[in-house]
Structure 1
Amino acid sequence: MASTNSFGAKGTIQAGGSDHEIFRLAAVEGADRLPFSLKVLLENLLRTEDGANVTAEHVRALANWDPTAEPDTEIQFTPARVVMQDFTGVPCVVDLATMREAVTELGGDPAKVNPLAPAELVIDHSVIIDIFGRPDAFERNVDFEYQRNKERYQFLRWGQGAFDEFKVVPPGTGIVHQVNIEHLARVVMTRGGQAYPDTLVGTDSHTTMVNGLGVLGWGVGGIEAEAAMLGQPVSMLIPRVVGFKLTGEIPAGATATDVVLTITEMLRRHGVVGKFVEFYGEGVGAVPLANRATIGNMSPEFGSTAAIFPIDEETVRYLKLTGRSDEQIDLVETYAKEQGLWHDPSREPVYSETLELDLSTVVPSIAGPKRPQDRIELTDAKSSFRKSVHDYTDDAEPQPLAHNHVDEAGRESFPASDAPALAFSDDDDDDDQPVVHSAANGGDGRPSRPTTVKTSDRGEFVLDHGAVVIASITSCTNTSNPSVMLGAALLAKNAVDKGLAVKPWVKTSMAPGSKVVTDYYEKAGLWPYLEKLGYHLVGYGCTTCIGNSGPLAEEISAAVNEADLSVVSVLSGNRNFEGRINPDVKMNYLASPPLVIAYALAGTMDFDFEAQPLGQDPQGNDVFLRDIWPSAQDVQTTIDGAISQEMFTKDYADVFAGDERWRSLPTPEGSTFAWDPESTYVRKPPYFEGMEPDPSPVQDISGARVLALLGDSVTTDHISPAGSIKEDTPAGQYLREHGVEKKDFNSYGSRRGNHEVMIRGTFANIRLRNQLLDGVSGGYTRDFTQEGSPQAFIYDASQNYAAAGTPLVVLGGKEYGSGSSRDWAAKGTALLGVKAVIVESYERIHRSNLIGMGVLPLQFPQGESAASLKLDGTETFDISGVTALNEGSTPRTVHVSATKDNGEKVEFDATVRIDTPGEADYYRNGGIMQYVLRGMLRS
């Protein structure tokens, strides 16, 4: 749609050998003082101004932005493109395919349902680490991936052919966010003769990684992404912008991972939820692009909407390195300078708030055991673990593991009786001193807990609390960054040269972000050292960080569960929430790739790298971490000699074509998809069943029951189905009933295209604590439709409530829905029959997604909670005042009346968290998909 051009901003520039129409920011008074990120939004409004959704008043409101004001002005942001990964992308394509059928049923043309903005999907979330520590691990894992996901991949291949403006990057290529910065990102877009900033939304919260390249974008739910693909703008409030000044240089021994964990801690403490973070100052130019991407990637972990760096010489250098065309590079530089988007360190924009970090103060760190913002200085890691383990067990005295013995084949064995076991006192002093006890009985009357494990291929050893059973170099955050990836490889070389070996109970894995990593490992000659320590290539994809760590060895898993050990994973990722990484692992720590290998060598989290040796060299000398840590100069020299532009141009030359496995997949044809009624992967969802051309009036909620009463910091990982599927759960029972063997269950993520599986896995995380039950974790509730209100699976209870015509509510605490931007956390909630969620506070994406699925997000009155109101979840809820939405406005509050069994009532006014008129339209229509579909029919 052509802009009304109220400000006379339309003009042309010549760049990259072509003329391009642009909308000059200089035409709007006040534009020059705005932060970089708001300039990008301002250009977006100028170009999409239509007098209705985007008006001159919106442009002026943004140009006159008051940095001190709380956000209260709604604007409509139209992203240039959409990027998806397959877990969240498959449901998008399923919904688009379903919309084509709904359009047909309502008298429209199905072929008109297409992405109206370029949409690119990278298949990166489906590889599972079944095989590790051996040369054929990659090939075998990919084979398993195709066997498990054939139906999904055939469906995506159909979508690539059936939909215009939709491209798929096949499996085994790389992680979506790294593929995005290395290849997909344009920085400046050209389309229809116009040049404009590359902006996007993505179906993964870590879409913000591309912020490091000067591209404004963030994660949204799949349902919002579908709307953006179909030309709907993203409704948002003009945000506050936090300026973050970087000075100094990273000291020797610290890494980009340590920087990002420090920034995450600082910004989470400061409070940046719903805000933009923008990096500025003289120090920005010295931050390598890979480090910028690492920082941008972690934006969801500190809670901001985006965390962006401006465009500068470093941006251009990276575009050249990664093989972008000369024409594109000229366009980026010319456009950015013309529009005032080129970084000028001498000019400081006005920000809402500012923070500053001197990079020289950063120290080696990890984060855990369950949240990325819980940073721990490495020197405090042992004492911190000893305190934290008390939250996971009642007998929290881990005992040091016996010294390793290496046989002639290089294998280590750990005899159970090699040394006396040690324990430490129960107090919380940082200087706990080991106390010798008898290994036979714990020395103080307590039963012995350390467990001897006998394996067929790894010898015999003892496991205790704190044992590192997974040490994985994984995820988009760090496997994009050559400094930490080559640092890890050099540490591996030094360790091998010193005769060190990884402990036999550690599951090791290397899952790079792109094939380029493999290329520079090979050129640097470092693969053999990584493989000597068990770090063979397992796949190019998001593995351990997303819960695709694969099973532990059967003997180890059995020992962990029988002894109820609190064992540990260490991963170079961005997410370590409870229950996410592996069902056998209670405690999860984030660390840089070099530290991941260090912990694999140590074998336990109960370890002090300063004081304890990792082992001995062939001469019997103790080897400490400091002895094998590579110098910054060695890392940089290796980077300079190992990475070239040709690697990027070769690996991305035909990126959408895929390998022989992909090309040989039988591909369905036709404008609508031929659903297979026997499929357990891809099924037609019920969102549009019985839908009329016009929405029915909004109704109040009466007679509702509580499905779950939850506490603080319930994340979308607690709500959304993720990880492996257990046989004795509703999802496992469903698959068995449909003829699926347990070995073929696959993960929830791989089955996101089947709503029947996903509903059954919603609120089913093993660490979820539903306070309707005492001392019970997992996907259970009380079923008030049954005599005595017995414990039941949440899914089973919801079906009974649906049969009885009883609506449901969920009660929660603070920061409800933090974590990944998972559409199924909202879809599953809606399909279980939940009509309203009442909590103390939300994080941005999940609140928006609930509205997108027709669920009403409410907040307790300020300062109140379920506990303060003495709600125990046994009440029956009536919510009145919702019908005011039928009058075209959104009420600030609705009245809630909760009736207890004895007739006593608890009454309060809950705040309605429908924050914009656009969200109100979605809610009136029963959800965003229904709103979009009705809009398409009208047009």
Structure 2
Amino acid sequence: MVYSTLLKEIKIEGKTYKYYDLVALKDERYEKLPISIRYLLEAAVRYCDGFHVRQSDVETILNWEKSQHEAAEIPFKPARVLLQDFTGVPAVVDLAAMRDAVKTLGDDPSKINPVCPVDLVIDHSVQVDSYGNLDALEKNQTIEFERNKERFNFLKWGQKAFKNLLIVPPGSGIVHQVNLEYLARTVCADDAGILFPDSVVGTDSHTTMIDGLGVLGWGVGGIEAEAVMLGQPISMVIPEVIGYKLVGKMPQFATSTDLVLTITKNLRDLGVVGKFVEFFGPGVANLSIADRATVANMCPEYGATVGFFPVDQRTIQYLKQTGRTEHQLNRIQDYLKANNLFVDYTDPKFSPNYTKVLELDLSTISPCVSGPKRPHDQVALTHLHKEFKSGLTEKVSFKGFGLKTDESNKIVKVTLNGEEHTLKHGSVVISAITSCTNTSNPSVMLGAGLVAKKAVELGLKVPPYVKTSLSPGSGVVTKYLEASGLLPDLEKLGYYIAGYGCMTCIGNSGPLDEAVGKAVDENDLVVAGVLSGNRNFEGRIHAQVRANYLASPMLVVVYGLAGRVDIDLENEPIGQGTNGPVYFRDIWPSHDEIAKIEEENVRPQFFNEVYSNIQKGSEQWQELECPDSSLYPWDSNSTYIKQAPFFHGMEIAPTPPTAILNAFALLNLGDSVTTDHISPAGSISRVSPAARYLTSRNVAPKDFNTYGARRGNDEVMARGTFANIRLVNKLASKVGPKTFHVPSGQELDIYDAADKYRSEGHSVIILAGKEYGCGSSRDWAAKGPLLQGVRAVIAQSFERIHRSNLIGMGIVPLQFLEGENADSLGLTGKEQFTIELPHDLKPGNHVTVETSQGKKFKVLSRFDTEVELTYYRHGGILPYMIRKLINTSN
């Protein structure tokens, strides 16, 4: 290696390790770098071989002060890859199909094997079918195995067939919390005894949660993650780093959720897409690791690549509490201190050079929620009731629902459990303590328990039309809720544990009570969900629930008790208790109350008890039988697992891409089209192309399961692409998954229109507005459009991961020039488009688009690096990897 002279020995408790001593570079620029950039530098030094990583790359990182403004490209090799099952199943399907392709091309299929450690946590499959009872957990886990047995069998095969693939069985917790509490190394040691900082890329956008522990991590597309598994470095533009200085302490009645929603709004207003955010200042020292992880988790919602908290003494205390050994703790501290990567937030001298600095006084944080349709739309708690009411009659927007004034006061009677209840606009029908955002945080989980305890003591109950659920991030949450005596109080209000996994936040909220659902549909009610999650995009939480608010677990319980979001919590009672009206202030605990109970009940042995046998799994998992073969025996009758079609007909030499000639616009979309709109994860509508396909394969509607669960079958996913009922397409007559097929003049389901264009020999493109592809990092949001024949997307701007995914599948990302969009250019979407892509296209070049109406305009090619262009010329990143592996060995 080029920097072998920097390889030094370090002794820790009598054991000798080696590490690359960055201080020995004797470069004054090093001490001015943000800590996150120092992590990138260490990886470049360690992997510098003059080929994949060059000395010029190391110099680019050292010269960050200048290179951050030059869009300079660097390679990065993370220490490991993190998957969950929604994204993990298609990744393993692709790897299995790549083995078949390599065999077909006459080479050894076992070359397709992860060389970078991969951790896969099965957490996205459990659904809230049963709730509000003691048997909910067992029933939901049983149903989970019945629904997903084939997928789980396949994953278990993958663990046996591939090296370096660890599977954490279902029922263990939410991937990011398991990563935080168990999987994270903080400092890694390889087989040669070389120490280096832990870093991770994951196929879930909230991989960033681990940044709260000082592990550099972010979400990437599943396609890009597969390349990393196979030893390919990530190509990235060296980022600007926003320094976010925190000072002061949180006030008594504010929570970490209030903090993160405030930070999300502030950073969203600043604009941090594609940038690193690094937190510093004395206020950080006052935040627990759980608080930091909550802030880091919401990174995709404020748009940054990472929200990074360097390691300090509090990080070490957390690692000790969660069961890391004394040797690991010493190794982490000694290594990080030797490389000047360990910080003291209270040290006024610690202030690296940042691109820009923001400052927040924690004492100014006040209670808030976020919604009703986007996670960065913060609402002060005192204003929510007014904003919701006014939004009912405002035109349809991120705040408005477009009701007529005479419809806004509609009241509907429903009979539940023999009693009559009232439903109206704003009624809370889902109240869910869910998702990794908050369930990693004992302060708000125990706070929710205290809210429940006070409410029970005062005689409050949750109305029966509210679907209540509690899905902890790990078994540790259950243990400290039990130890504190607060779990029974939550259960008395209906918050029984429904499962350990990502449930309501991913759309696995399960059905509403039949009478409630009927009342909502027949009366077009704008009912609400209140959840402690991180995403609330339209159609994501539940198809029948149009207003969804992100809130702390404590507020989830408060609004569950109130049964409505249009309540003035300052002046109106939450409900009638045993001795009269009960107000918000009567049941809200203080920081001191929560801190006392947390100190007494969050114990280190809980982590050891939960994680000592985590890889063993339940009896159901242990009983699963899977094939014992290196190539997967595909079952042609399966509607869950199908051989990926992306390598059919592939040859060893790539075919050069051709120009896009006379393509039709499949869709003409506006701003903030999310991956939920493009590739839904929720339930499969019974009147959709995917439903027709499953019915043709003799699958009963009750067994349709979700799109997320069927990501291993391209036939379902291609039909599910753009199947979101809230999709707003300017080529359709109304909101929903329809579009206009120009040659015939018919309005068709989007998949059917795409299929018709394909059968006629026409290519298609997509027109879009700002933030195209924001939301979760779903590879099927790129794979699905490819299978529908989409050759290019022309948008005003792209979400970072989704742009990467499009390129990974060979789709061209093009961006309207500043100040232009489809409307300003007079495009209706009914034209045909010709896009010439020159063979010598360079990153950042302009490309000419010409329409059949004779209009010409320039767009920016969003191939940002040469590596991305190389992937595109091979038809995508996976064909490139196959050819690279074959050519390397021959």
TM-score scaled to structure 2, two decimals? 0.97
The residue type paired with residue 847 of structure 2 is V
SS of 2:18's equivalent in the other structure is strand
1:253-288, Cα deviation, whole Å (9 max, x unpaired): 110000000000000001100000000112222211
Unaligned runs of 5+ in 1: 399-423, 427-441
Aligned residues between the structures: 880
**For residues 884 and 807 of structure 1, what CA distance do their matches in structure 2 show?**
23
1:26 to 23, 27, 39: 23
SS of 1:884's equivalent in the other structure is coil
2:528 to 564, 568, 578: 568
- Counting only pairs closer than 5 Å after superposition, residues 608-627 of structure 1 correspond to structure 2 as 608-620=568-580, 622-627=581-586
2:721 is aligned with 1:723: no
1:652-673, Cα deviation, whole Å (9 max, x unpaired): 0021110100000111110010
Displacement, 1:721?
2.4
1:451 to 412, 435, 453: 412
1:788-810, Cα deviation, whole Å (9 max, x unpaired): x1100110111111111111100
SS of 2:627's equivalent in the other structure is coil
SS of 2:65's equivalent in the other structure is coil
Tell me the equivalent position of 1:350.
353
SS of 2:439's equivalent in the other structure is coil
2:445 is aligned with 1:485: yes
8 Å Cα contact 2:252/2:592 also seen in 1 = no
1:850-875, Cα deviation, whole Å (9 max, x unpaired): 00000000011221110011100110
**For residues 300 and 145 of structure 2, what CA distance do their matches in structure 1 show?**
31
The residue type paired with residue 930 of structure 1 is P
8 Å Cα contact 2:394/2:400 also seen in 1 = no
8 Å Cα contact 1:511/1:543 also seen in 2 = yes
- Counting only pairs closer than 5 Å after superposition, residues 310-389 of structure 1 correspond to structure 2 as 310-344=310-344, 345=347, 346-389=349-392
**For residues 566 and 408 of structure 2, what CA distance do their matches in structure 1 show?**
20
Distance 1:623 1:392, change over 3 A: farther
8 Å Cα contact 1:762/1:825 also seen in 2 = yes
Deviates more, 1:488-497 or 1:715-724: 715-724
1:930 to 869, 879, 888: 879
8 Å Cα contact 2:223/2:805 also seen in 1 = yes
The residue type paired with residue 35 of structure 1 is P
2:843 is aligned with 1:894: no
Displacement, 1:27?
2.8
8 Å Cα contact 1:174/1:512 also seen in 2 = yes
1:644 to 603, 623, 642: 603
Distance 1:250 1:43, change over 3 A: same
8 Å Cα contact 1:830/1:853 also seen in 2 = yes
Tell me the equivalent position of 1:712.
671
8 Å Cα contact 1:22/1:195 also seen in 2 = yes
Tell me the equivalent position of 2:105.
106
**For residues 447 and 91 of structure 2, what CA distance do their matches in structure 1 show?**
38
**For residues 53 and 287 of structure 1, what CA distance do their matches in structure 2 show?**
39
2:861 to 876, 899, 912: 912
8 Å Cα contact 1:203/1:225 also seen in 2 = yes
Displacement, 1:881?
3.1
The residue type paired with residue 61 of structure 1 is T
Distance 1:425 1:380, change over 3 A: farther
**For residues 649 and 458 of structure 1, what CA distance do their matches in structure 2 show?**
46
**For residues 819 and 484 of structure 2, what CA distance do their matches in structure 1 show?**
58
Distance 1:483 1:708, change over 3 A: same
1:356-387, Cα deviation, whole Å (9 max, x unpaired): 11110000000000111110110111111112
Unaligned runs of 5+ in 2: none
The residue type paired with residue 640 of structure 1 is E
The residue type paired with residue 307 of structure 2 is A
**For residues 602 and 71 of structure 1, what CA distance do their matches in structure 2 show?**
53
- Counting only pairs closer than 5 Å after superposition, residues 377-776 of structure 1 correspond to structure 2 as 377-391=380-394, 449-455=410-416, 457=417, 459-620=419-580, 622-774=581-733, 776=734
1:741-799, Cα deviation, whole Å (9 max, x unpaired): 1111111100010111111111111111110123x11211111242xx11001101111
8 Å Cα contact 1:699/1:882 also seen in 2 = no
SS of 1:366's equivalent in the other structure is strand
TM-score scaled to structure 1, two decimals? 0.92
Tell me the equivalent position of 1:780.
738
Displacement, 1:837?
0.4
1:1-39, Cα deviation, whole Å (9 max, x unpaired): xx2217x32212122542222111113312121111000
The residue type paired with residue 684 of structure 2 is I
**For residues 492 and 726 of structure 2, what CA distance do their matches in structure 1 show?**
36
**For residues 309 and 397 of structure 1, what CA distance do their matches in structure 2 show?**
36
**For residues 875 and 459 of structure 1, what CA distance do their matches in structure 2 show?**
57
8 Å Cα contact 1:475/1:544 also seen in 2 = yes
2:38 is aligned with 1:35: no
The residue type paired with residue 791 of structure 2 is K
Identity of aligned residues (%): 52
8 Å Cα contact 2:288/2:314 also seen in 1 = yes
Tell me the equivalent position of 2:269.
269
1:856-904, Cα deviation, whole Å (9 max, x unpaired): 000112211100111001101100134334xxx44701110011xxxx3
**For residues 811 and 209 of structure 1, what CA distance do their matches in structure 2 show?**
33
**For residues 383 and 25 of structure 1, what CA distance do their matches in structure 2 show?**
55
Displacement, 1:843?
1.4
Displacement, 1:462?
1.4
The residue type paired with residue 392 of structure 2 is V
Distance 1:16 1:100, change over 3 A: farther
**For residues 869 and 404 of structure 2, what CA distance do their matches in structure 1 show?**
57
**For residues 675 and 807 of structure 2, what CA distance do their matches in structure 1 show?**
15
**For residues 13 and 184 of structure 2, what CA distance do their matches in structure 1 show?**
17
Tell me the equivalent position of 1:850.
806
Distance 1:496 1:651, change over 3 A: same
**For residues 384 and 292 of structure 2, what CA distance do their matches in structure 1 show?**
26
8 Å Cα contact 1:470/1:507 also seen in 2 = yes
8 Å Cα contact 1:397/1:425 also seen in 2 = no
SS of 1:854's equivalent in the other structure is coil
1:374-420, Cα deviation, whole Å (9 max, x unpaired): 101101111111122224789x999xxxxxxxxxxxxxxxxxxxxxx
8 Å Cα contact 1:721/1:758 also seen in 2 = no
Displacement, 1:113?
1.3
8 Å Cα contact 2:60/2:74 also seen in 1 = no
Tell me the equivalent position of 2:168.
169
8 Å Cα contact 2:460/2:578 also seen in 1 = no
1:410-459, Cα deviation, whole Å (9 max, x unpaired): xxxxxxxxxxxxxx996xxxxxxxxxxxxxxx7xxx7983111123x262
**For residues 189 and 46 of structure 1, what CA distance do their matches in structure 2 show?**
16
**For residues 517 and 767 of structure 1, what CA distance do their matches in structure 2 show?**
35
Distance 1:385 1:71, change over 3 A: farther
**For residues 312 and 721 of structure 1, what CA distance do their matches in structure 2 show?**
40
**For residues 148 and 25 of structure 1, what CA distance do their matches in structure 2 show?**
51
2:10 to 6, 9, 13: 13
SS of 2:196's equivalent in the other structure is strand
8 Å Cα contact 1:392/1:586 also seen in 2 = no
Displacement, 1:608?
0.6
**For residues 683 and 646 of structure 2, what CA distance do their matches in structure 1 show?**
26
The residue type paired with residue 582 of structure 1 is H
8 Å Cα contact 1:700/1:883 also seen in 2 = no
1:218-269, Cα deviation, whole Å (9 max, x unpaired): 0001001100111010000110000001111111111000000000000000
Tell me the equivalent position of 1:883.
839
